[in-house]
A = this chain, B = another copy of it.
Amino acid sequence: MRIGFIGLGRMGSGMASNLIQAGHQVAVYNRSPEKAAPLVALGATAAQSVAEACRGEAVITMLADDPAVESTVFGDEGIRASLAMGALHVSCSTISVELSRRLAEAHAHASQRYVAAPVFGRPEAAAAAKLFVVACGAPDAVEAAGLLLAAIGQRTFVMSTQPEAANLVKLSGNFLIASVIESLGEAMALVGKGGIELPAYLDFLTSTLFTAPVYRTYGALIAEGRFEPAGFAAPLGQKDIRLALAAAEDLRVPMPLASLLRDRFLTLLAHGGDALDWSAIGQLAAEAAGAKPRA
List A residues at the B interface (Cβ < 8 Å).
97, 120, 132, 134, 155, 157, 159-160, 162, 165, 168-169, 172-173, 175-177, 179-180, 182-184, 186-187, 189-191, 193-197, 200-201, 203-205, 207-215, 242, 244, 247-249, 251-260, 262-264, 266-267, 269-272, 285, 288-291, 294
**Cβ contacts under 8 Å, A242 to chain B:** 249
Q: Nearest Cβ in chain B — how far from A161, in angstroms?
A: 10
Nearest residue in B to A167 (C-beta to C-beta)? B194
Task: Give the residues in chain B near A160, CB-CB below 8 Å.
Answer: 195-196
Question: A132 is contacted by which of B208, B212, B294 (Cβ under 8 Å)?
Answer: B208
B257 near A186 (CB under 8 angstroms)?
yes
| Docked-complex contact A263 and B257, CB < 8 angstroms | no
Contact call B177/A209, Cβ cutoff below 8 A: yes
Please determine whether A253 and B210 come into contact, CB atoms closer than 8 angstroms: no
Measured between beta carbons, the chain B residues less than 8 angstroms from A180 are: 183
Residues in chain B near residue A201, CB distance under 8 A: 159, 169
Q: A168-B190, A169-B191 are in contact. Are A183 and B257 (CB under 8 A)?
A: yes
B169 to A175, Cβ gap below 8 A?
no
Q: Verify A197–B159 contact, CB threshold 8 A.
A: yes
Asked if B176 and A209 make an inter-chain contact with CB atoms under 8 angstroms apart, the answer reads: yes
CA distance A289 to B288 in the complex (A): 13
Q: How far is the CB of A192 from chain B (nearest CB, A)?
A: 9
Q: Across the interface, do A172 and B159 meet the contact criterion of CB distance under 8 Å?
A: no
What is the count of identical protomers in the complex? 4
Q: How far is the CA of A212 from the CA of B211 in the complex (A)?
A: 5
Chain B residues whose C-beta falls within 8 Å of the C-beta of A214 in the assembled complex: 209-210
A248 close to B266 (CB less than 8 A)? yes
Residues of B within 8 Å of A187, CB to CB, are 172-173, 175-176
Closest to A131 in B: B208
Q: How far is the CA of A210 from the CA of B213 in the complex (A)?
A: 8
Does B191 contact A172, Cβ atoms closer than 8 Å? yes
CB distance from A64 to the nearest CB of B (A): 18
> Which of chain B's residues has its CB closest to A207's CB?
B155
Asked if residues A190 and B262 are in contact (CB atoms below 8 Å), the reply is no
Contact residue among B162, B177, B200, B285 (Cβ-Cβ distance under 8 Å from A254): B285
Chain B nearest CB, measured from A160 CB (Å): 6
In Å, the complex CA distance between A24 and B263 comes to 47
Asked whether, in the complex, the Cβ of A200 is within 8 Å of the Cβ of B120, the reply is no
What residues on B are CB-neighbors of A244 within 8 Å? Answer: 190
Complex CA–CA separation, A195 to B168 (angstroms): 10
Bound: A201/B158 CA distance, A: 10
- Known: A189-B253, A190-B255, A209-B214; 20 extra A-B contacts, CB below 8 A, are A120-B208, A132-B204, A155-B208, A157-B207, A159-B204, A160-B196, A165-B194, A169-B204, A175-B187, A176-B209, A177-B209, A193-B253, A211-B213, A249-B262, A249-B266, A252-B289, A252-B290, A253-B285, A254-B270, A267-B288
